[in-house]
Amino acid sequence: MQEASDDELVAAVARGDGQACAVLMQRHLGRIVALARRMMGNQADAEEVAQEVFLRVWTNAEKWEPGRAQFGTWLHRVAANLCLDRLRRQRNTVDIDEMPDLVSGDPAPDQRLEADELAARVEAALQQLPERQRAAIALSHYQGLSNIETAEILEVSVEAVESLLSRGRRQLRTLLATEKDGLLRSRETSA
């Protein structure tokens, strides 16, 4: 079962094979949760999206046509669209006071807290990007999808993906300038 292709696993899922469900989740659930986490900015929403994605797999497994599309790419497309839908719905309800603060906060006393602080700041910076820039960075940079796959998922041209990525990274560079300088300093110190 571990060696089975995604298409074979989906066919087994449609027959009600529990082991196939487990292997398919083992193979893809972590990546889908990670994508949704980058898009939504928190684990609870990310898991809700991932749950919806896999429930669609369970429901539509019988209709899956082997060889028509890469299963992993299809999962990313469903997840990205669900995230964009949710973000659109949330757009008018977000309280600006609840946005994470990027510039305040004293340096944490120990390394663990520093790492957590940095992680929170990076996540907060990602959340400040426009949704489609964030989606492009999540798919290309974090998920490692090719520019062609990212373009297919976002239904734009490869050139448009490149533009989304450039603008997103430029904004992140500005938002995370302090963190970047800190990283540079720590490298110089350790060198």
Partner 1 sequence: MNREISLERFAAIVDAYGASPMRWPADERGAAEALLAFSADARALLDEARMLDGVLAAAPVEVPSDALVARLMAARPRPATPVPAGKPRSIFRELISAIWPYGSPAIPAGALAASIMLGIALGSVSEIAVLNGSQIAAASGESEADERLIALALADIDWPEEWIQ
Q: Least distance (Å) from partner 1 to the CB of residue 97?
A: 22
Give the residue with the Cβ less far from partner 1, 109 or 144: 144
Closest CA to 37 of 142, 110, 108, 173: 142
Length of the chain: 191
Contacts for 133 with CB less than 8 Å, ≥ 6 apart = 164, 165, 167, 168, 171
Q: Least distance (Å) from partner 1 to the CB of residue 47?
A: 5
Residue tagged 């790492």 (tokens) = 115
Give the interface with partner 1 as residue ranges (CB under 8 A). 13-18, 21-22, 25, 29-30, 33-34, 37-38, 43, 47, 50-51, 54-55, 58, 61, 115, 118-120, 122-123, 126, 140-142, 144, 146-147, 158, 162-163, 165-166, 169-170, 172-173, 176, 179-180, 183-184
Q: Least distance (Å) from partner 1 to the CB of residue 92?
A: 26
Spatial distance between the Cα atoms of 149 and 110, rounded to a whole number of angstroms: 41
Cβ atoms of residues 49 and 86 within 8 Å: yes
Q: Least distance (Å) from partner 1 to the CB of residue 52?
A: 10
Spatial distance between the Cα atoms of 120 and 115, rounded to a whole number of angstroms: 9
Give the residue with the Cβ less far from partner 1, 88 or 180: 180
Give the residue with the Cβ less far from partner 1, 93 or 111: 111
